[in-house]
Structure formats: structure tokens, C-alpha cells
Structure 1
Amino acid sequence: MPSAKRIICVGHAALDRIYRIEAFPPEPTKVRALEHVESGGGMAANAAVAIARLGGKAELWSRTGDDAAGNAIRAGLKAERVDVRYVQGFEGARSSTSAIIVDDKGERLIVGQRDAGMPSGTSWLPLERIKEADAVLGDVRWLEGLRAVFSRARKEKVPTVLDADLGAREAIGGILKLTDHAIFCAPALREFAPGDSDAERLGHVLSLGPKHAGVTLGREGYLWREREGGGHVPAFSIGVSDTTGAGDAFHGAFALMVAEGRSTADSARVAAAVAALKCTRLGSRAGLPTRAELDAFLSTRQPT
């Protein structure tokens, strides 16, 4: 096993309250929850946990309120051995929370709240630490932090992985100039990039600066392009309990593989396996595998 690589994750941390129901009703009504869990969430935070479970050294740079939810967020991350020294709790701010409804098919509805008054400044970030990292991962929920971190990473020649989600269409173009590996969810790619196919849209993303552009397609796997070519990694066939956080798991695993120097195809296959295993349990973190569990899965399973 390679020596543990250090990944800095910058972006969103939240507290999720997840309810499993039998099926989404066709019209407004009362529905009984079959199961309920409370878990840490947030894109960068979930990715950091995925990295830590796989044996990497994950460090999260994020913002919460100085409140009960923020305390729970930090406690959950510390329990997963994520470094939370730079998860800043701001007095008077409200931590992000989400209510997530999951049906028996594993599909979900997410209702999230983020404090619009959360301080966005970056002067407190220890940017000098980036030169010691093996990779940096960022999401689009804190654009000021993302720009500051990716700018410094580019200066220090530290590889970057972007979790390009919905909600930042106008900003993504500029961020791509600082990005090495840009990984979109399908709705975000189709919102951002022109083209008649995802392959064409990924070509547009490449033209803006990254050396790797990819899109997660759920059950259809992962499609990617680079200047030298591209590829497609099928999804793994597995029983799905909850898809919440699958993309976050993919990004975290991919970033760790980049830090370990794996090939693109191998990085994507590992990330697809981690995302699949995450989906076997309710919540964004319960199903995340250890390195031993991942290796055992990959030794016996093939993508479909």
C-alpha cells in the first residue's frame, strides 16, 4: 500500500437529516418515515471522509456557524479522522443543514439551507500549507475559498480536482482556468457547456483549461476526455439503498488516486467502485469503504 497522501478539501460542510420512505407520493400528503438517520454531509466534507476511510490524510477547510449543528459537523468529521483545525465556526452564523428524503429505489429529494450571511472572506486560510499537499479538492459552495486555494495550488504545482455542481454556472468558467481535473455531475455539465452530447460538452470544458474533464452519469458510469483521448468507465451493479453523497465519494476517491499517481482509467474505476459501495447504505457516509473493503470489492466485481 502506498504511503498516505495528504489531500486538502475546501468547501461545504453540513448536517443532514435523512428520512427513508417507501415511495414519493404523487401529491402533497403525510408520509411515514421507515427509517431516520442524522449524519454529517456537505460535498467537500463527504469527500474528505471518503479519503480518510481509504487511508489518506484528509484536511477540510470549511465554514460553519458557532452553533449546535456546527459542533455536530466537526465532531462527526473528527470521528472519521479528518483534520478539522480549519473548519471555522463563525459567531452568529447558522450552519448548513439539509433534509433528505430517500425512497426504496434509492432516489432522493434534498432540501438544503445555507446561511446567506456566512462570512466569505479567506484571510484566515493557511494557504502556505498547500505546498505540502499531494492534491487539493474543492466544491463550488464557497467560491471565494475555492479561488484562493486553487490559485495557490496552481502556483505551487499541486494538482486540483473540481467538484463542479449546479449553482455556480457564471463562476465555473474562471475557476476552470485554475483546475487540473474538472468533474461535473450531468445536470451541471448540461447547464454550463454547449453541445449536442456530453462528449461535445466535455470538449468545451477542456478548451477552458483543465487537462481532464469528466461527468458522472449515475447508473451509466463515468465519461471523461483529455487532450490525448478519453474513455468511459461503466458503473458497478450493486444494490442501492441511498444515492446521497455518491458524487462526493467519487470526487474524494478520484482525488486520492490522483495524489497516488494512478492512471486516469484506474482513478475513475476506483472512484466508481467507492461511489457504488457508498450507495449500499442510508446516508452519505455509512457505506464509504475502507481500503481493504475497496480492494476486496474490486477483486471480485467488474463494472457492468
Structure 2
Amino acid sequence: MNKIPNVVVIGSLNMDIVVEADRPPQMGETVAGNRVHFIPGGKGANQAVAAARLGARTTMIGAVGCDPFGKELLEALRREGIETDTVKTVAGAHTGVASILLVEGDNQIIVVDGANGHCTREDIDLHRKKIAQADAVLLQLEIPLETVQYAAETAKRQGKTVVLNPAPARPLPDELLRHVDVMIPNESELYLLAEADEGSDLETAMRRLQDKGVRTVVATLGARGAAYLTADGAFGTVPSHKVEVVDTTGAGDAFNAGFACALASGEPVAEAVGFASKVAALAVTRLGAQAGMPTLAQVGEFNVE
């Protein structure tokens, strides 16, 4: 990367309760699990940890509950050097929780937002100065949509690069999309937001998002890599990398943070996508979304296959 980026992440903090099992249960069925792990997570916090390990000056804006999980999540972020004075503790609310079933490296996830639902417009106003210092502002959809839209509008008014990871997937207002510099959906999210049939032409779906106001679209395609469509109309693809998959939970978060860091450091879109692909590939080789995030040195040493 060309310089040390300053990244502000606005989003969720969850405790991930990860259960490993040989197979998922059918509805109404009970199966035996093999192991359980309590792992700091949440899409916002995951992306903040990934950015910090990639060398970015990182600030996390969000909310936790007044409970042991909240304290543990904040301590985990502080250990990574992330600024957490911008994370509020909500009395009377529990910290967000994600229940994750992990079977042979793949996962099923149920999220209960808890304190994440208390991240409001007022929190964005309170931390305007932090946003003003950022090179990039990274957003997801595990906090109230009203807050996401207000954060994007606030960041754009200050001339910041807004990167939106539209997950969990939901329809989004055009007013939000018009304030997004880069959107990074996976394939199913792309087709939902573009109002296109799954399996239809990828580039056409990406151009539909641009018609709605998004400047650059980067689509993650799993084992097929990633595709990008820049603001000036350049379309390209980047292949995935062959690795031994242990846990895919943090792959998308790793990609988003990697892209945001590279772009904020001055890299063009194609190079930022290539960098993000390496970050994501390394992230899935270890258990736990945050624990699996690689350092900048590890990405630099990664042998591409």
C-alpha cells in the first residue's frame, strides 16, 4: 500500500457463538455438536480488526450492551490498536449475538442485533470529527438502515470515500446508493439490489447498480473470485486463490476491509480488488472471523496460486 490509511468503520459488534458439528439439523431435529467457541465478531468489528491488522489507523463506531460480552468485545478491539472511545455502552440492552453453525468449513448464521440497534444518527453526529479525519468510511447493514444512510450522507458531505458492504442483504433506497462510492456485494446481494434474476449477466447487473447512483461496484463471487466495474465503466475480473478452507465466516469482511485499506492508501480499483482477494483467501484458513484476519506482512508473503 502507498500510505498508511485512516479507516473509520461504522457498524455492528457481536459475540459469535460458534458450534462445530458434522452436519446441520433438520427442522425439529437435535444433533450432537463437537465443539463450541465464543469468538468476538460482528461485521463492523470484523472489518475493523482486518483493517487494523493491515496497518490502517482504525476507529470503530458502534454500540455494545452493558454485559460481559460487551466488555470482551471492546477489549478484543483495543488489543488490535483500534480506537474504541467511539463505541457506546447501552444500559438495558444486551450485546449483539450471532449463532453460527459450522459444518466442514461452511456456515449458517442467525444474528440477534441487541445493542447494535441502538447505533443512531446521534452517534454519527457525535463523532463527525473522526469521520472528517478518515480516508475511507466502511459501512455494512447490521445497524439500523437510517443510521447507515445518515453516516453515508455525513461522510460524503465531508468529501470522504464511502464503501458499503450491503450485508445482510435487503432492498436499499436510492438516496443511500447515491452516497456510495464503492459497493461490495456478493453475487446474491448483487442480483437482489439490481432487481435482476440470479444467474443473469453479471456486468449488466452491476451497471444497474450504477444506474441507481453507486459509482463503483465490486462483486465477490466465492470460488470464482471477484469482478469490478469502475466509475468510468471499466469491467474486469480477479481470480480466487486456492487455499485450505477452515472457516468462511470472515471471508467477506476480510475482503471489504482489504479493499477499503488499499483504496484509501491510493491504489486503483483493480489493484485494490487483487489485494482484497489475497486478504480474504488468507482469512478462511483459520477459525474465527477476527482471529483469522491476516497481517499486512502475511499478505505480502502470500504465494498466489
TM-score by length of 2: 0.92
Tell whether the 8 Å contact from 2:3 to 2:266 is kept in structure 1 after alignment: no
Instruction: Select between 223-232 and 176-185 the one with higher mean Cα deviation.
Output: 223-232
Letter in 2 for 1:127: R
Alignment CA distance shift 1:153-1:236 (3 Å): same
Counterpart of 2:293 (choices 283, 288, 291) is 288
Deviations 1:245-271, CA, capped at 9 Å, x for gaps: 110111011100011111211111111
- The answer to whether 1:249 aligns with 2:254 is yes
The SS at the match of 1:157 is coil
Q: Which residue of 1 aligns with 2:147?
A: 145
Q: Which residue of 1 aligns with 2:68?
A: 68
Q: Which residue of 1 aligns with 2:19?
A: 19
Letter in 2 for 1:288: M
Cα drift, residue 166 of structure 1: 3.2
Query: Root-mean-square deviation (CA), in Å?
Result: 1.8
Instruction: Select between 106-115 and 235-244 the one with higher mean Cα deviation.
Output: 106-115
Distance 2:213 2:39 in 1: 36
The SS at the match of 2:149 is helix
Distance 2:76 2:38 in 1: 10
Cα drift, residue 117 of structure 1: 9.2
Deviations 1:211-270, CA, capped at 9 Å, x for gaps: 211211111111111233111111111000110011011101110001111121111111
Distance 1:117 1:277 in 2: 28
Name structure 2 gaps, 5 residues minimum.
none
Distance 2:116 2:273 in 1: 37
Q: Which residue of 1 aligns with 2:128?
A: 127
Letter in 1 for 2:135: D
Q: Which residue of 2 aligns with 1:269?
A: 274
Letter in 2 for 1:204: R
Q: Which residue of 2 aligns with 1:240?
A: 245
Q: Which residue of 2 aligns with 1:176?
A: 177
Of all paired residues, the percent bearing the same amino acid is 28
Q: Which residue of 2 aligns with 1:46?
A: 46
- The answer to whether 1:301 aligns with 2:291 is no
Cα drift, residue 285 of structure 1: 1.6
The 5 Å alignment of 1:132-211 reads 132-142=133-143, 143-171=145-173, 173-195=174-196, 196-211=200-215
Instruction: Select between 269-278 and 187-196 the one with higher mean Cα deviation.
Output: 187-196
The SS at the match of 1:85 is coil
Letter in 2 for 1:103: V
Alignment CA distance shift 1:116-1:2 (3 Å): closer
Counterpart of 2:284 (choices 274, 279, 282) is 279
Distance 2:295 2:147 in 1: 29
Tell whether the 8 Å contact from 1:93 to 1:117 is kept in structure 2 after alignment: no
Instruction: Select between 148-157 and 263-272 the one with higher mean Cα deviation.
Output: 148-157
Deviations 1:5-62, CA, capped at 9 Å, x for gaps: 1100001111101122223355654333333321111111101100111111111101
Alignment CA distance shift 1:116-1:95 (3 Å): closer
TM-score by length of 1: 0.92
Distance 1:112 1:156 in 2: 32
Cα drift, residue 116 of structure 1: 8.3
Counterpart of 1:217 (choices 214, 221, 232) is 221
The 5 Å alignment of 1:111-122 reads 111-115=110-114, 118-122=117-121
Alignment CA distance shift 1:89-1:116 (3 Å): closer
Letter in 2 for 1:40: P
Cα drift, residue 127 of structure 1: 1.1
Letter in 2 for 1:154: K
The SS at the match of 2:165 is strand
Distance 1:49 1:63 in 2: 16
